Amino acid sequence: MARDTQNRLIAIAPLLPVSLRALIQSGGVEDDAWCLLVPNSAVAAKLRQTLPALCAHLRTKGWNVNTIRVKVKSHS
């Protein structure tokens, strides 16, 4: 599963703003939902603007992704 989530992240990387690429980590997959982890709410807000395009791109690559959740990582 770890390889699958990393492959998804690699697949969407060209669609992400360059300044955000290093800040986004792949989380888990549950059915047709995938989770992305970000360091703060500003990155989360920016990433959420791209979610429809990211889902569509992943579907064209063969992944069944209808939802991408964005979670802010806790600092503790």
Dump pLDDT digits (tens) for 25-69: 999 999 899 999 999 999 999 999 999 999 999 999 999 999 999
Please state the rounded mean pLDDT for residues 5-32: 95
Q: What is the pLDDT confidence band of residue 76, given thresholds at 50, 70 and 90?
A: low
Using alpha carbons, select from 69, 47, 65 the residue that is nearest to residue 56.
65
CATH number at residue 14: 3.30.300.180
Total tally of structural domains belonging to the chain? 1
Q: Which two tokens stand for residue 62?
A: 């063969």
Sign of CA dihedral 19, 53, 12, 67: positive
Contact between residue 15 and residue 58 where contact means Cβ atoms under 8 Å apart = no
- Which domain does 62 fall in, by range? 2-72
